[in-house]
Amino acid sequence: MRSRLLLLLAVLGLLAAPVPASASAAVAVTIGAVDLDGPAVSTVEVTVTNGGSARLSRLSVSFAGPIGWTSYPASRSVKEALAPGASATVEFLIHVPEKPASFTVRKFTATASYRGGDGAGTATGTRLERSGAPLAGLAAAYNNVGVTAESNPTPGNFDGEGNSFSSARLAEKGLTPGAAVTALGATLRWPSVPVGTPDNAAGGGRTIEFTGQGSRLVFLGSGSSFAATGTVTVWYSDGTAASATLGFPNWSFQDAGAHGATLVAATAGRNRPTGYGDAAYEYRVFANSIPLDPAKTVELVTLPGNGAVHVFDLATA
């Protein structure tokens, strides 16, 4: 009789089904601030909060810093069970090496394993700590002369062999110092620097200050090899970060759509150490982009470490 009643209630929609836990009702792991003023041994607090609907037991927490850093102990256990909404904090020691002179971001990770709680069994938290100062914009990262005058090509070295774009041929395409360039929904600027001086950032993986919001971060550049790709990391003002791959085709003799790029301008010939030449071939500038979280504000950008990726400018779209 009881089973028939339950079946009838279910058919009529009167028997409540179990409600799944919301995304926020989960076990959370947070890592406290890490003092990077080394060499020193720093104390780090890791807090586990039971956001699930059941008691959390057999809690064990592990903690690790960047590769090569030593932390102690390997893990800590919490004897007391955590009721829903309760938290527990454990401490770890980590050996912090001497602080580097350049801008650096360190990543720390803590993992909790448990029974009960949200039923997932494990939860992980990360923290990014910055040290040093980033470069004040892209121009501060310029380290390569990609454009020269045909009357004086010797400063150029776009491709590592002393070759460069001709400023006169670029001007024919509207690419003059400070000129606006529209590509992939963004308005960029051709480098506003004297011809024959550093005008692009090539490799080094340096981090620059950059503020903006949008759905894409657009780069104006070109490649000096057929494998001109690298990782770009975007740092948001809320402390989070995201990485993506950026690539440009070789400035000549490669498909203009390689690495997902878009052709911006193609010029006839180039400047060689001995003067203008190779007029039968095109040397090109491209645009490409990586995705952004449109709800967040970009604060810093780490450029690719591959020296074959040359960046003339960047902007949001």
Domains and CATH numbers, the chain: 22-131 (2.60.40.10), 138-316 (no CATH)
| pLDDT at residue 8, as a whole number | 37
Burial of 101-127, coded b for 16+ CB within 10 Å and e otherwise, reads eebebbebbbbbebebbbeeeebebeb
Q: CA-CA distances (angstroms) from residue 104 to 61, 107, 204, 268? A: 27, 10, 13, 41
Which H helix or E strand runs over 224?
none
Of 81-90, 97-106, 130-139, the range with the lowest mean pLDDT is 97-106
pLDDT tier for residue 22 given thresholds of 50, 70 and 90: very low
Q: How far apart are CA 256 and CA 253, in angstroms?
A: 9
User: Distance between alpha carbon 32 and the CA centroid of its chain, in Å?
Assistant: 22
Residue pair 267/169 in contact (Cβ under 8 Å)? The answer is yes
CB-based contacts of 179, cutoff 8 Å, min separation 6 = 189, 190
Instruction: Indicate the burial class of 136 (C-beta count within 10 angstroms; 0-12, 13-18, 19 or more).
Output: exposed
C-alpha dist (Å) from residue 265 to 224, 268, 284, 287: 16, 10, 6, 10
310, pLDDT greater than 90: yes
Number of other CB atoms surrounding residue 182 within 10 Å: 13
pLDDT recorded at residue 104: 84
How far is Cα 147 from Cα 190, in angstroms, rounded to an integer?
11
What is the model's pLDDT at position 99? Answer: 85
In this predicted structure, the answer to whether residue 14 has a pLDDT above a threshold of 50 is no
Residue 17 has pLDDT above 70, yes or no: no
Q: What is the pLDDT of residues 175-200, one digit of tens each?
A: 999 999 999 999 999 999 999 999 99
pLDDT of res. 130: 85
**Which pLDDT tens digit goes with each residue over 42-69?**
999 999 999 999 999 999 999 999 999 9
Sign, CA dihedral 156-159-164-165, equals: negative
Q: How far, in Å, CA of 158 to CA of 125, rounded?
A: 42
User: Which amino acid, 276?
Assistant: Y
Which residues fall within 8 angstroms of residue 148, CB to CB, at 6 or more apart?
A: 154, 155, 156, 164, 165, 166, 167, 195, 196, 271
pLDDT of residue 4: 47
- Judged against a pLDDT cut of 90, whether residue 218 lies above it is answered with yes
- Of 101-105, 164-168, 193-197, 269-273, the range with the lowest mean pLDDT is 101-105
Give the pLDDT of residue 82.
96
Tens digits of per-residue pLDDT, 160-173? 999 999 999 999 99
